[in-house]
Amino acid sequence: MMALGGVTYLDRVCISILSPSIMRDLSINTLQMSYVFSAFTFAYAIFEMPTAWWADRVGSRQVLTRIVVWWSAFTMLTAAAFSYPVMLAVRWMFGMGEAGAWPNVARIFSRWIPTQERGRTQGIFFAGAHIAGGLTPIVVAWIATLMPWRWVFVFSGSVGLLWAFLFYRWFRNEPREHPAVSPEERDFIESHRMAINVGHGEWHKVFRAPGLLPLCLQYFANNCGFYFFITWLPEYLRNAHGMRAGELALFAGLPLTLSAVADISGGMTTDWLARRLGVRMGYGLAGGVAYAIGAVVMGFGAAASNGQVAGILIAVAGALSMFTLAPSWATAIALGGENAGLMGAVMNTAGQVGGILCPIVVASLVQQYGDWNLPIYVLSGVYGLAALCWIFIRPDGVRREIGHPSDSVS
Instruction: Establish if 115 belongs to a structural domain.
Output: yes
Instruction: Establish if 279 belongs to a structural domain.
Output: yes
* Residue 211 DSSP code: T
Instruction: Establish if 248 belongs to a structural domain.
Output: yes
Residues 294 and 397: beta-carbon distance below 8 Å: no
* Residue 196 DSSP code: P
Q: What is the CATH number for 315?
A: 1.20.1250.20
Instruction: Please report, in tens digits, the pLDDT of each residue of the chain (410 residues total).
Output: 888 888 887 777 778 778 888 888 898 887 888 888 888 878 888 888 888 888 878 889 999 999 999 989 998 999 898 899 999 999 999 888 888 888 888 889 888 988 778 778 888 888 887 787 677 777 777 887 888 888 988 988 898 999 999 999 999 988 999 999 999 998 898 887 764 444 445 667 777 777 889 999 999 999 999 889 878 888 888 888 888 877 887 888 788 888 888 989 998 998 899 888 888 888 999 999 999 999 999 999 999 989 899 999 999 999 999 999 989 988 888 887 777 778 888 898 898 888 888 888 998 898 888 899 999 999 999 999 999 999 998 876 544 333 333 334 43
For residue 369, what are the contacts with CB-CB under 8 A and spacing of at least 6? Answer: none
Alpha helices, DSSP H only, in 113-148? 118-143
- Our count of domains for the chain comes to 1
Instruction: Establish if 154 belongs to a structural domain.
Output: yes
Instruction: Establish if 237 belongs to a structural domain.
Output: yes
Measure the CA–CA gap between 108 and 60, rounded to whole angstroms.
Answer: 7
Instruction: Establish if 404 belongs to a structural domain.
Output: no
- Is pTM beyond 0.75? Reply is no
User: Count of H helices and E strands in the chain?
Assistant: 17, 0
Instruction: Establish if 202 belongs to a structural domain.
Output: no
Owning domain of residue 20: 2-195+210-395
Measure the CA–CA gap between 47 and 31, rounded to whole angstroms.
Answer: 25
Instruction: Establish if 384 belongs to a structural domain.
Output: yes
